[in-house]
C-alpha cells in the first residue's frame, strides 16, 4: 500500500523523537519515500545525520536555506507529499498548528500544505490535559487533522498517564489507513449540517447566547465529507474553525440560520447540531442600553423559529433523514424521546450537558441515539469518534434508500 507513497515526516522536539527514526525505517521497509524535516528542538534529541541516513535523503531544517528556498522549497515540500506526518507532535507544535503560526520550517510546511496531516502527540500528562492543549486538539480535529495516540503509560519525567507517543507500528498502521483508498458511500448525496450557537442581540454590544463551541457539529460535517458527501455547513459564531471542503454559510441569529437552512434545501439528509437560542429580544436596542443606577432594563423575549420542527414536518421536499440534537440536564432520555415526536425528527441525538459532565464546550461527548425503533447509548468518546459513528449510520440509511 505504501510503495511509491511520499511521506513528509516532521520530527519534533521531545524524548519520543527517537521513535521517529524507527518510523522512518518502517516506512522505507514498506516502499515509501520519506522526506524528513527536523525541528531545532528535535535536533537536540536525534542528529540530522541519523535522520538523513535512515531516510536516504537530505534532512530539511532551515526555513531560510538559500539552496532550497531560492525556488520556494518549503512550498514544494508541503505540496509534493501524499501525507504529512508529525512524530512527535509536541504541545508547542500543536499550538502553532492550531493558531496558524509559521516561524520555522516545520510550522511553515504545516500551514502551507494542502495534504492531509497525521500527528502523533507526545507530552507530559499535565500538558496533555491542560485546557489550552485540549482547545488546540478540538481545533485541529475540526480542521481535519488526524491523530494517532497518545497512549497511557510511564513517561521519561516519571509520571504516568495519557501523553506517551504511540508506538512506531501503530503510527505505521495509522499512516497506511490514512493513505488507503477513500470510501465514499455518500458520493452524490447532499447533507445539510447546522452547528454552533446563535447570538441574539440585546443591543449592538450585548447578546443572548449559550455555551456551544460548535465542535460536535463541525466534527459531524468533517466525517460526512470524509464519506464523500457534499456538505452545506450553516454555522453560528463557533469557537472552532469550519471543516475544509464544506459549503460554509456563516450566520449570527436564529432567523438568519432559518433563512440559510431554507436556502440550502433540498438535501438528502439534515443534521441539526446547532444550539439555537430559544428566544430573541423583541425590539433589540439600536444603540447601547446605558446603565442607570437603580433602573433594571426589562427585556421582552419572543420565541425563535423552530428550525428542526419546520424541516421535520415538511410535507414536500423533506430530507430522507432528519436528525436533531437534545442537550438536556434532567431526564435526558424522556425529554429527548418526546422531542423527537414533537419535532418530527427521524433521530434525536441526546446528551447530558450538566456542567460536571464537561461535555458542553469540551472535547468529548456521550450520546444516546433515539430512533423510532428504540435507543442506543454510545460510550463516552471524542467528539470526532461520535461524529464518525453518526456519519456511518447516516450513510447506511441513505445508501439503503438508494438501493
Q: Is 339 known as a binding-site position? A: yes
C-alpha to C-alpha distance for 75 and 79, rounded to whole angstroms: 6
220 touches 393 (CB < 8 A) = no
Q: Residue 72 burial (CB < 10 Å; 0-12/13-18/19+)?
A: exposed
Radius of gyration of the chain (CA): 24
Core vs surface per residue 258-291: b (16+ CB within 10 A) or e: bbbbeebeebbbbbbbbbbbeebbeebbeeeeee
C-alpha to C-alpha distance for 195 and 130, rounded to whole angstroms: 25
User: Scanning the structure block, which residue is given the C-alpha cell 447601547?
Assistant: 288
Q: Is 306 known as a binding-site position? A: yes
Q: Is 202 known as a binding-site position? A: no
Q: Is 307 known as a binding-site position? A: yes
User: Scanning the structure block, which residue is given the C-alpha cell 460510550?
Assistant: 379
C-alpha to C-alpha distance for 384 and 223, rounded to whole angstroms: 8
C-alpha to C-alpha distance for 221 and 312, rounded to whole angstroms: 20
Q: Is 394 known as a binding-site position? A: no
Q: Is 288 known as a binding-site position? A: yes
Q: Which of 132, 157, 169, 205 is the catalytic position?
A: 157
Question: In 3D, which of 264, 265, 229, 235 has the Cα closest to residue 248?
Answer: 235
Q: Is 297 known as a binding-site position? A: no
Is residue 157 part of the annotated active site? The answer reads yes
Q: Is 325 known as a binding-site position? A: yes
Q: Is 5 known as a binding-site position? A: no
Binding site, by residue number, is 278, 288, 305-308, 325, 339, 343
**Catalytic residues, which ones?**
157
Annotated binding site for CTP: 278, 288, 305-308, 325, 339, 343
Amino acid at each position: 500500500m505504501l510503495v511509491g507513497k511520499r511521506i513528509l515526516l516532521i520530527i519534533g522536539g521531545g524524548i519520543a523523537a527517537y521513535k521517529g527514526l524507527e518510523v522512518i525505517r518502517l516506512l522505507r521497509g514498506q516502499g515509501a519515500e520519506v522526506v524528513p524535516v527536523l525541528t531545532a528542538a528535535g535536533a537536540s534529541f536525534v542528529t540530522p545525520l541519523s535522520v538523513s541516513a535512515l531516510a536516504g535523503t537530505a534532512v530539511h531544517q532551515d526555513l531560510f536555506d538559500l539552496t532550497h528556498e531560492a525556488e520556494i522549497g518549503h512550498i514544494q515540500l508541503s505540496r509534493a507529499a501524499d501525507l504529512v506526518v508529525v512524530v512527535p507532535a509536541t504541545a508547542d507544535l500543536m499550538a502553532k498548528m492550531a493558531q496558524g503560526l509559521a516561524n520555522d520550517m516545520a510550522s511553515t510546511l504545516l500551514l502551507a500544505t494542502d495534504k492531509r496531516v497525521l500527528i502523533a502527540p507526545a507530552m507530559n500528562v499535565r500538558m496533555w490535559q491542560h485546557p489550552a492543549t485540549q482547545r488546540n486538539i478540538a481545533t485541529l480535529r475540526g480542521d481535519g487533522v488526524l491523530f494517532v495516540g497518545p497512549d497511557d503509560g510511564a513517561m521519561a519525567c516519571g509520571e504516568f498517564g495519557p501523553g506517551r507517543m504511540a508506538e512506531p507500528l501503530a503510527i505505521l498502521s495509522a499512516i497506511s489507513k490514512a493513505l488507503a483508498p477513500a470510501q465514499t458511500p455518500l458520493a452524490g448525496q447532499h447533507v445539510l449540517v447546522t452547528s454552533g450557537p446563535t447570538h441574539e442581540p440585546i443591543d449592538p454590544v450585548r447578546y443572548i447566547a449559550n455555551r456551544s463551541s460548535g465542535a460536535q457539529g463541525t466534527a459531524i460535517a468533517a466525517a460526512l465529507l470524509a464519506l464523500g458527501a457534499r456538505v452545506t455547513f450553516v454555522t453560528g459564531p463557533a469557537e472552532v474553525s469550519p471543516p475544509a471542503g464544506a459549503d460554509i454559510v456563516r450566520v449570527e441569529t436564529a432567523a438568519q440560520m432559518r433563512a440559510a437552512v431554507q436556502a440550502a434545501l433540498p438535501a438528502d439528509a439534515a443534521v441539526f447540531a446547532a444550539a439555537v437560542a430559544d428566544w430573541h429580544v423583541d425590539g433589540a436596542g439600536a444603540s447601547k442600553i446605558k446603565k442607570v443606577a437603580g433602573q433594571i432594563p426589562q427585556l421582552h423575549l419572543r420565541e425563535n423559529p423552530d428550525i428542526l420542527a419546520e424541516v421535520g414536518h415538511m410535507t414536500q421536499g423533506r430530507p430522507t433523514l432528519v436528525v436533531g440534537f437534545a442537550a438536556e440536564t434532567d431526564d435526558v432520555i424522556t425529554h429527548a424521546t418526546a422531542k423527537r415526536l414533537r419535532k418530527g425528527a427521524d433521530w434525536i441525538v441526546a446528551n447530558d450537558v450538566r456542567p460536571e459532565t464537561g461535555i458542553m464546550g469540551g472535547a468529548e461527548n456521550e450520546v444516546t441515539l433515539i430512533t423510532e425503533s428504540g435507543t442506543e447509548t454510545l460510550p463516552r468518546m471524542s467528539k470526532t469518534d461520535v461524529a464518525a459513528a453518526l456519519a456511518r449510520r447516516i450513510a447506511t440509511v441513505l445508501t439503503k434508500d438508494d438501493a
